[in-house]
Structures are given as structure tokens and as C-alpha cells.
């Protein structure tokens, strides 16, 4: 999918969730489509404030959390780098191996939930994520 289509998909998801689509929100989507990797809330704020000098960090952070909740963004917590976000990869169900050194992410298809995990209390799963943190091959050297 090309970058323009990805931005449109993100914006359409915002609209389906009742968000008013503004130029600022389109730019927010564009920032993630243009960046192949993770961005901290400060990274996003710094980029967005170049276009919208009056935007507040709180507004950026709140939008990132809400976009994550609606599935537009994925969030990960890095021990040294804190909370970071990236564009969701919704093409198919998979999980991630994440390098704690360089933040490279590798997808893997095996899903632990397919092993027939028995959950207590008649718990109904709506969605899930599984991440494994470690060192990629290059960072082990």
C-alpha cells in the first residue's frame, strides 16, 4: 500500500471513531507513515510543532493514546526509551520480536493464544498482543 493510501486509511479510522478530521490530525498520520520505526511522544511533538507551533504536548500525547486505543498506532514500552509509538501493521495477525538496543522489530507468525490457553473467570478476549524483547542478531555482536 502506498503512503497516501496509508494516511487515508488512518484518517478514515479516525473519522469512523467520531473524530473531526483536521489538517493537524492528517499531519499526525503523515508523520507515522513517513517514519519506519518508533517515535516517542516528544519526537511526534517536535515534528508536529514545526507545522503547528501552538500545539501542546498534552494534546499530542492524548491523541497518540487514543490512536493506539483505536488500533491506528501500536505502542511499546522500551526500558531505556520509554513509551514509543509506530504505525499499526494490520495486514494480518502476527506478533513482534523487539530489539531493546536498536529497536528493530521482526514479525513472527506463531501465536501463543492458539495453544488453547485457559483463562480464568470466563474472560472474553477482544484483542491481544504478544511481544518478545531481546537483542537482534546485529546487536549481539
CB–CB of 45/59 below 8 Å? no
95 annotated ligand binder: no
Question: How many alpha carbons lie under 13 Å from residue 50 in its C-beta half-sphere?
Answer: 8
89 annotated ligand binder: no
128 annotated ligand binder: yes
Q: What whole-number distance in Å separates Cα of residue 67 and Cα of residue 14?
A: 8
Pairing of strands 131-134, 82-87: unpaired
99 annotated ligand binder: yes
In the annotated binding site for Fe cation, the residues are 93, 114, 128
Question: Which residue numbers belong to the known binding site for Zn(2+)?
Answer: 99, 102, 136, 139
Binding residues: 93, 99, 102, 114, 128, 136, 139
Amino acid at each position: 500500500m502506498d503512503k497516501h493510501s496509508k494516511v487515508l486509511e488512518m484518517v478514515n479510522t479516525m473519522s469512523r471513531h467520531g473524530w473531526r478530521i483536521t489538517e493537524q490530525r492528517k499531519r499526525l498520520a503523515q508523520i507515522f507513515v513517513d517514519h519506519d520505526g518508533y517515535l516517542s511522544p516528544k519526537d511526534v511533538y517536535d515534528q508536529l510543532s514545526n507545522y503547528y507551533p501552538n500545539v501542546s504536548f498534552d494534546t499530542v500525547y492524548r491523541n497518540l493514546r487514543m490512536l493506539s486505543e483505536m488500533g491506528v498506532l501500536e505502542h511499546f514500552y522500551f526500558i531505556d526509551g520509554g513509551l514509543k509509538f509506530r504505525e499499526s501493521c494490520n495486514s494480518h495477525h502476527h506478533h513482534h520480536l523487539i530489539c531493546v538496543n536498536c529497536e528493530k522489530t521482526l514479525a513472527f507468525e506463531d501465536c501463543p493464544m492458539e495453544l488453547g490457553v485457559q483463562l480464568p473467570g470466563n474472560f472474553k478476549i477482544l484483542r491481544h498482543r504478544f511481544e518478545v524483547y531481546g537483542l537482534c542478531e546485529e546487536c549481539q555482536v
